[in-house]
Amino acid sequence: MTDSSSALVQERAAVADACRRLGAAGLLIGTAGNVSVRVGDRVAVTATGAVLAQLTADQVTVVDLDGKAVAGTLRPTSELDLHLGIHRRHGAGAVVHTHAPMATALSCVLDELPCIHYQLLALGGTVRVAPYATFGTPELAESVLTALDGRSAALLANHGSVTLGATLDQAVENALLLEWACGVYQHAAAIGTPRVLGEQQQRAVIEAAIARNYGTTQSLEEGKP
């Protein structure tokens, strides 16, 4: 087995693991949603019709960047063009698409999810809502690709959400973060009008995060003179 073949075996298993994790977190229901990870010029992607919360590695198909199946026995997701487009245009290592409850609910009423909490900056700030288009169509793929410009997440109007990451773990974490942020917005909006962080406040957060190595563990010796 070549190194690339071995990597794809591992990534098919990793995609299945990611789907089960997303299902356990309540972001996936039934066969709705899809996940992919890229290894070189190959993409491991969930099969159409598979129950994602119970996914197994043999329900992950490997395709080339033109969408031709090169490993596996099942047809890939109907959103294959969307996944391949994101991998090609945005250089994603992995893509997660879900019909997560909070994200889907907000996609039905908002034109964008504003930056109401600084953790949204990890996704690029304000999350755009791609205009509605029928699932699996080139129109949907193109609108999502545009919504993702400069972002790691987008909502799909009356449909769901998409996140990307350099790695599969990061794409999954971004999906979990987006769903959390959508829940925070929904709860805040039920009480009143959510405050939005302005550009200056967002810049201050970025500067503070860089200065403090925010989000990474640090020894007690770090920063000592």
Alpha helix segments (H runs only) across 71-167? 80-90, 101-107, 138-147
Assess whether 79 carries a catalytic annotation: yes
Whole-angstrom Cα distance, residue 119 to residue 222? Answer: 24
Sign of CA dihedral 102, 103, 106, 108: negative
Pairing of strands 127-130, 153-156: parallel
The catalytic residue among 11, 79, 199, 207 is 79
Whole-angstrom Cα distance, residue 31 to residue 48? Answer: 8
Q: Under a CB-based contact definition with an 8 Å cutoff, are residues 174 and 96 in contact?
A: yes
The number of helices, as runs of H, and strands, as runs of E, in the chain is: 6, 9
86 CB-near residues (< 8 Å, 6+ apart): 92, 95, 144, 145, 148, 162, 164
Q: What is the set of active-site residues?
A: 79
